[in-house]
Amino acid sequence: MNITVAGTGYVGLVAGVCFAEVGHKVLCTDTDGERIKLLNDGICPIYEKGLEELLKKNLKNKNISFTENYKKAYEKPDAIFIGVGTPEKEDGSAELGYISAVSKQIAENLKQDCLIVVKSTVPVGTNDMVEKLINDFLVSDVKIDVASNPEFLSQGSAVNDMMNAQRIIIGTKSKSAENMLREIYKPFKSPIVCVGRRSAEMIKYASNSFLALKISYMNDIANLCEAVDADITEVAKGMSYDERIGKKFLKAGIGFGGSCFPKDTKALIYLAEKNNIHLKTVEGCVHVNENQKNVLYKKACERFLTLSRLNISVLGVTFKPGTDDLRESPASANIRKFLNDGANVKIYDPAGMENARKIFPEGNFLNGKTEYSHSAKEALSGSDVCFIFTEWEEFMYLTPDDFLENMRRAVIFDGRNIFDSRKMELNGVEYHSIGRK
Ligand code: UDX
Under a CB-based contact definition with an 8 Å cutoff, are residues 314 and 389 in contact? yes
Query: For residue 377, is pLDDT > 90?
Result: yes
Q: How far apart are CA 329 and CA 258, in angstroms?
A: 6
- Please confirm, yes or no, whether 260 is among the known catalytic residues: yes
What is the identity of the amino acid at 263?
Answer: K
Distance between Cα 279 and ligand 1 center (Å): 21
Q: Closest by alpha carbon to 104, among 69, 153, 77, 71?
A: 71
Under a CB-based contact definition with an 8 Å cutoff, are residues 10 and 26 in contact? no
Q: How far apart are CA 181 and CA 168, in angstroms?
A: 10
209 within ligand 1 shell (Cβ under 6 A) = no
pLDDT, residue 437, reads: 78
Under a CB-based contact definition with an 8 Å cutoff, are residues 318 and 257 in contact? no
151 CA: nearest ligand 1 atom? 7
User: One of 225, 260, 285, 386 is an active-site residue; which one?
Assistant: 260
| Residue among 261, 292, 295, 393 to mutate when testing ligand 1 (max atoms within 8 A of CB) | 261
Q: How far apart are CA 63 and CA 27, in angstroms?
A: 8
Kindly state the average pLDDT of the residues 127-141: 97
Q: How far apart are CA 196 and CA 190, in angstroms?
A: 19
Q: How far apart are CA 423 and CA 319, in angstroms?
A: 27
121 CA: nearest ligand 1 atom? 7
Q: How far apart are CA 277 and CA 287, in angstroms?
A: 17
Distance between Cα 339 and ligand 1 center (Å): 27
Distance between Cα 282 and ligand 1 center (Å): 16
Q: How far is CA 43 from CA 60, 301, 352, in A?
A: 13, 44, 18
Q: How far apart are CA 297 and CA 237, in angstroms?
A: 27
pTM to 2 decimal places: 0.96
319 CA: nearest ligand 1 atom? 23
Query: For residue 168, is pLDDT > 90?
Result: yes
Q: Over the chain, what is the mean pLDDT?
A: 97
Query: For residue 352, is pLDDT > 90?
Result: yes
Kindly state the average pLDDT of the residues 97-115: 98
152 within ligand 1 shell (Cβ under 6 A) = yes
Kindly state the average pLDDT of the residues 176-201: 97
Query: For residue 163, is pLDDT > 90?
Result: yes
213 within ligand 1 shell (Cβ under 6 A) = no
| Residue among 166, 260, 388 to mutate when testing ligand 1 (max atoms within 8 A of CB) | 260
Distance between Cα 116 and ligand 1 center (Å): 28
Contacts of 119 (CB under 8 A, 6+ apart): 11, 12, 15, 81, 82, 83, 149, 150, 151
Under a CB-based contact definition with an 8 Å cutoff, are residues 113 and 180 in contact? no
Percent of the chain past pLDDT 70, that is, above it, reads 100
Q: By three-state DSSP, how is residue 251 classified?
A: coil
Percent of the chain past pLDDT 90, that is, above it, reads 99
Q: By three-state DSSP, how is residue 313 classified?
A: strand
Nearest CA owner, ligand 1 atom 30: 256
Q: How far is CA 336 from CA 2, 69, 287, 349, 429, in A?
A: 47, 40, 20, 16, 26
Query: For residue 92, is pLDDT > 90?
Result: no
326 within ligand 1 shell (Cβ under 6 A) = no
